[in-house]
Amino acid sequence: MNVLIEWLVAIFVVVGGIFALIGSIGLARLPDFYTRLHGPTKATTLGVGGTIIASLLFFSWQERGLQLHEVLITLFLFITAPVSAHMLAKAAMHRDLKRMKGTRGEPWKQ
Amino acid sequence: MKRLLPYPSLTLVLWLTWLLLNGFSVGHALLGLILAVVLPLGTRPFWPQVPLVRDRMGLLRFVLRVAKDILLANLAVALKVLGPVKDLQPGFVEVPLDLRDSFAITVLTSTVSLTPGTVSADVSEDRTRLLVHALHVEDPQALVAEIKQRYEGPIKEIFEC
């Protein structure tokens, strides 16, 4: 396999993996529900993004033709991830979950 | 024609999606075409009035800008997540909305959620305010100004509203 492609794929896999890991660390270590919500939104953007680019490069090279499944995955993720985050935040406000000390501003009561 | 294809671009996107998922062949092209015509007709009552894209170049510029922001904000938030937790200053910030169209507001809230560090939590019932939760906010006013100027302005220009 071409060395250049090999390096590119490796870099994107590692970068994607690191960001997915940081997202998970955030999920485990941040103090309240609202701040924890930020971990997964991050993992879905750069974490999955890096992995998807690596996959696209690898399979396009191996099968000698542009592979576009990955583009669809990105599209679906970018449409659905904000909606689920929004619904989670709304549910959390509805249940009036505890906020971290020092949180500024107030959630709405609707 | 208008009755058969109420949303020509939706039909095109559905057809292309089907072909990308299943591979290009005559059979799938036909099956995909049938689905791409039937699905918009069947789901028609659920679709809101989608505003027209007025400024295509503006849309492209906006997508590139959001991609760049996602990249930069990711790095900033990664440092915050790994740094000391007690230094975090999370907060709820209210953003007054100039957008009125529900589809344009959806685009704005999705953009805010996709850029790391901010999640859009709620839209007020009269659609005049957006509640955003930020992981770390030093100056709430600056965050409001940034969201309005960086994202809301371009979205307003892209869609006719």
Distance between start and end Cα atoms, chain A: 58
Residue B161 has pLDDT above 70, yes or no: no
Residues B91-122: tens digit of each pLDDT: 888 888 888 888 888 889 888 888 878 888 88
Of A11 and B54, the one with more pLDDT: A11
Q: Could you tell me the residue ranges of all domains in chain A? A: 3-94
Measured in degrees and rounded to the nearest 5, phi and psi for residue B11 equal -60, -45
Residue A108 has its nearest CB partner, among B85, B90, B122, at B122
- CB contacts under 8 A, A 89-108 vs B, are 89-90, 93, 99-100, 102-108
Proportion of chain A above pLDDT 70, given as a percent? 85
Q: Where are the alpha helices (DSSP H) in chain A?
A: 3-29, 33-36, 38-42, 48-62, 69-94
Residue B20 has pLDDT above 70, yes or no: yes
Torsion, Cα of A89, B146, A28, A45 (10° steps):
90
Residue B46 has pLDDT above 90, yes or no: no
Q: Could you tell me the residue ranges of all domains in chain B? A: 8-46, 56-158
Which band of pLDDT confidence, cut at 50, 70 and 90, is reported for residue B1?
Answer: low
Q: Using the beta-carbon criterion (under 8 Å), do B114 and A78 form an inter-chain contact?
A: yes
Q: Using the beta-carbon criterion (under 8 Å), do B91 and A38 form an inter-chain contact?
A: no
CA B107 to CA A101: how far, in whole Å?
31
Measure in Å the smallest separation between the Cα of A61 and chain B Cα atoms. Answer: 18
Residues A13-70: tens digit of each pLDDT: 999 999 888 888 888 888 888 888 887 776 667 888 888 889 888 888 887 777 778 8
Residues B67-96: tens digit of each pLDDT: 888 888 888 888 888 888 777 888 888 888
Q: Using the beta-carbon criterion (under 8 Å), do B113 and A102 form an inter-chain contact?
A: no
- CB contacts under 8 A, A 44-83 vs B, are 45-46, 49, 68-69, 71-72, 78-79, 81-83
What are the chain B neighbours of A82 within 8 Å (beta carbons)?
109-114, 120
Residue A10 has pLDDT above 90, yes or no: yes
Say how many CB pairs under 8 Å bridge A and B. Answer: 120
CA-closest candidate to residue A50, choices A32, A29, A80, A77: A77
Residue A74 has pLDDT above 60, yes or no: yes
Q: How many residues are recorded in chain A?
A: 110
CA B112 to CA A58: how far, in whole Å?
31
pLDDT at res. B31 = 92
CA A32 to CA B30: how far, in whole Å?
51
pTM comes to 0.81
Under a CB-based contact definition with an 8 Å cutoff, are residues A83 and B119 in contact?
no
pLDDT at res. A109 = 63
| B91-96 and B118-123 strand pairing | unpaired
Residue B119 has its nearest CB partner, among A22, A25, A37, at A37
Q: What is the mean pLDDT of chain B?
A: 84
